[in-house]
Chain A
Amino acid sequence: GAVVSQHPSRVICKSGTSVKIECRSLDFQATTMFWYRQFPKQSLMLMATSNEGSKATYEQGVEKDKFLINHASLTLSTLTVTSAHPEDSSFYICSARDFTGANVLTFGAGSRLTVL
């Protein structure tokens, strides 16, 4: 089945630094990937839709200059949290639609970001 690989699984950084999270579709091409954020005991909140070869579409309230998304190839999307602050600490999860054509999402394992 479809596999999405996400790296790193955990990252700790100092306030003010930038962190990059990678999301790869391993056995299929994903023209669209989705980035979610999940705070403890809350559900997944869509942050942005990453489109290969074009600009990402951000959800209302998500700062595009803070959360930079690049989808340079059909198998790789990256999320960069710029000038991270403690309130950005969260669980970030990417996903892609599987190759069956149904609107079923395959998720990465997630990245736990802790900003000190």
Chain B
Amino acid sequence: SQKIEQNSEALNIQEGKTATLTCNYTNYSPAYLQWYRQDPGRGPVFLLLIRENEKEKRKERLKVTFDTTLKQSLFHITASQPADSATYLCALPTGANNLFFGTGTRLTVIP
């Protein structure tokens, strides 16, 4: 069955450093992959979408890579700030036009 693993449940990082989050998937060949941010007690907010034919996508301090051979996406936040502290979810499309979400990585940026 399809499976998504975000291999760090929690990640602590010093302010100003680059945070790198990992999303691995198995039994899957997605046409694209998405990343969302979720704050406590709130719904997720869309950040970035990367397609299978794109190696890298950037948006301000965010960068996402997509390696379909490794079946992995990396999500980077450069010059991290305490306001970046949140849970970050990767999501892959299912056959029914829905999204299947990973369990998320809780990022804490320490001032």
Count, A-B residue pairs, CB within 8 A: 48
Known A104-B49, A106-B46; judge A43-B101 contact (CB<8 A). Answer: yes
Give the chain B neighbours of A32 by CB distance below 8 A: 97
In the complex the two chains form, what is the Cα distance from A103 to B50 in whole Å?
Answer: 12
Give the chain A neighbours of B96 by CB distance below 8 A: 49, 57
When C-beta atoms are compared, the residue in chain B nearest to A59 turns out to be: B98
In the complex the two chains form, what is the Cα distance from A10 to B43 in whole Å?
Answer: 13
Give the chain A neighbours of B89 by CB distance below 8 A: 43-44
Tell me, yes or no, whether A112 is within 8 Å of chain B by CB.
yes
- With both chains docked as a complex, state the minimum distance between the C-beta of A114 and any C-beta of chain B, in angstroms: 13
A contacts with B: majority SS: strand
Tell me, yes or no, whether B79 is within 8 Å of chain A by CB.
no
A-side interface residues toward B, CB under 8 Å? 4, 6, 32, 34, 41-44, 46, 49, 57, 91, 93, 95, 98, 102-110, 112
Given contacts A104-B34, A109-B43, 16 further A-B contacts (CB under 8 A): A4-B43, A32-B97, A34-B98, A43-B101, A44-B44, A46-B99, A49-B98, A91-B41, A95-B43, A103-B93, A104-B46, A106-B46, A107-B44, A107-B45, A110-B43, A112-B41
